[in-house]
């Protein structure tokens, strides 16, 4: 199997790169897989244009990076493919997936390692996705605040996010809840990243409630700092692959009532940890 000749164009100093010269519908040779893996680790989120993936090919690409995750609340809308999460908005939508800064399913005891979104249909304009480096967010904190947070854990809950959201009967269903370090160490790069988000994180365990609320609100605003971000302008048949361990994202809903439709495959992760 011949190695693909790929090239990488960084979008910002902190996060994001466009990868060209690779066909994700084809099996990846070991050398190409390593290049893509290393590019993801280096850039946090990577983008591919002009891809043509069947659901099976989409899942096969994800499985090169690990076992696939099944969403704890969203129904499997692609028959025979429970691992595929449908991302859809149209004129009937009252909310959309990812409209606040978050890391996917951080409420799980072992949150996903990465997410791979493949867009099929887009509005004429709008519908971009913003990505933020949690390495950069951590690095920009003062040393006293870093020392405080490195001893803290935070609760990530999903009841308020998922209950009644997907139009299915969920009476009696228990949604995930977990406690994770506020600062996590990336298991591959070894770098430290901020690991709280406004979608799922509800409190810092070691602080009083008022203190927790104040610190979290500061951190949520801090994550919104533009210098930590890149912005991806989608085209049909584009793919974004982001590392949930060190990147958060925010999906712009600036295209109502236009349609936006895609499929997401998510790769399982492991339990977050902090290593000084």
Q: Would you give the DSSP letter of residue 102? A: B
> Phi/psi class of residue 50: alpha, beta or left (left: φ > 0; alpha: ψ in -120 to 50)?
left
Pairwise CA distance, residues 267 & 104, whole Å:
11
Buried residues in 186-203 as b, exposed as e (16+ CB within 10 A): beeeeebbbbbbbbbbbb
Would you please indicate which residues are annotated as catalytic (active-site) residues? 102, 104, 249, 264
Structure tokens that stand for 179 in this block: 């406690």
Closest CA to 186 of 3, 67, 43: 43
Pairwise CA distance, residues 128 & 85, whole Å:
19
What 3-state class would DSSP assign to 237? Answer: coil
Rounded to a whole number of angstroms, the distance between the first and last alpha carbons of the chain is 42
């Amino acid at each position: 199997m011949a190695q693909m000749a790929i090239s990488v164009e960084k979008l910002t100093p902190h996060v994001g790169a466009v990868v060209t010269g690779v066909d994700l519908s084809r099996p990846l040779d070991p050398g190409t897989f390593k290049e893509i893996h290393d590019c993801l680790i280096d850039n946090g989120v990577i983008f591919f244009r002009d891809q043509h993936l069947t659901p099976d090919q989409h899942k096969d690409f994800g499985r090169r990076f690990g076992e696939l995750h099944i969403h704890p609340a969203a129904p499997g809308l692609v028959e025979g493919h429970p691992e595929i999460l449908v991302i859809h908005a149209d004129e009937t939508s009252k909310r959309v997936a990812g409209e606040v800064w978050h890391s996917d399913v951080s409420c799980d005891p072992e949150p996903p390692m990465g997410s791979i979104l493949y867009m099929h249909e887009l509005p004429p304009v709008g519908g971009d996705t913003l990505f933020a480096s949690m390495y950069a967010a951590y690095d920009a904190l003062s040393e006293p605040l870093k020392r405080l947070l490195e001893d803290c854990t935070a609760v990530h809950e999903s009841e308020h996010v998922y209950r009644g959201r997907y139009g299915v009967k969920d009476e009696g269903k228990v949604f995930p809840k977990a406690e994770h370090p506020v600062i996590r160490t990336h298991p591959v790069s070894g770098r430290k990243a901020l690991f709280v988000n406004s979608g799922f994180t509800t409190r810092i365990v070691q602080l009083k409630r008022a203190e927790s609320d104040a610190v979290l609100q500061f951190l949520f605003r801090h994550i919104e700092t533009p210098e930590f971000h890149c912005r991806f302008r989608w085209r049909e048949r584009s793919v974004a692959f982001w590392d949930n361990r060190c990147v958060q994202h925010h999906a712009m809903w600036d295209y109502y009532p236009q349609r936006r439709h895609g499929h997401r495959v998510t790769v399982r992760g492991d339990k977050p940890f902090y290593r000084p």
